Amino acid sequence: MRWLICLVLSAAPASAESALDWLVARSAPAIIGETGTWTTPTGTVLAADPLTLFGTENPIAGLPDTPATVLGFYPLDSPGRTGLMALIWSDDPVVCGEDVATIGVDAGLAAFLAPPDLRVLESYRDEWGDLYAGPYAEQIDTSYPGPTLIDLPGASGFPLSGSGWGDGGYPVATLKDASGRVTALYAQFITAEGADWLLPSPCVDSTS
């Protein structure tokens, strides 16, 4: 884990912000940690509970198939909790985004999976009788609250994180640049005090 910055006060939104700057300016004051990079080979992500596999039926398509930086936001007023997990592909200025999914969490965990990871986890469950067993469970326990990159044979090294204060429904959104390319994907688990969920302004189809 590489620590990037400690935010004592949230910054004011600027006119041209990268995905990271956009998230920082609108999130609760937090420590930010960089876990590494991850690539979904198909440009599709399943935002899911990695033990119950809730959410795997709703793939998020149209994402870059290039490496993304995996970040965790750790709110200063919620120690030991992950407030937000993000995949950052680009520093291009954010102009809009989409609310693309809700992770229904029942195990206090959330993950971004590549579609082949689902088959790996289903096979693992068949072998061990339960996903919360063996080396997979050990990685989750030793790296909590994450995010961490899970190392399982045949899997993509997918990012997994604790989901803030536990179970619930958590929003997943994309951020896009002026060309409509996705610059980031994030799941939010803890909001700033008194704030609603962090969702971007929707994109407008210029052809309509």
List the pLDDT tens digit at each of the 208 positions of the chain: 665 555 544 445 556 899 999 999 999 899 999 999 999 999 999 999 999 999 999 999 999 999 999 999 999 999 999 999 999 999 999 999 999 999 999 999 999 999 999 999 999 999 999 999 999 999 999 999 999 999 999 999 999 999 999 999 999 999 999 999 999 999 999 998 888 999 999 998 754 3
- Confidence (pLDDT) at 28: 86
Q: Is 185 exposed, middle or buried (0-12, 13-18, 19+ CB in 10 A)?
A: buried
pTM summary value:
0.92
Asked if 124 and 139 count as a contact pair (C-beta separation under 8 A), the reply is: no
- Confidence (pLDDT) at 15: 66
- Confidence (pLDDT) at 8: 40
- Confidence (pLDDT) at 1: 60
For residue 206, give both structure tokens: 């210029």
For residue 104, give both structure tokens: 């229904």
The set of residues, in sequence order, having a beta carbon less than 8 Å from that of 86 and lying 6+ positions away, is 19, 20, 23, 70, 71, 72, 73, 184, 185, 186, 187
Q: What angle do CA 116, 154, 43 make, to 5 degrees?
A: 35
- Confidence (pLDDT) at 155: 94
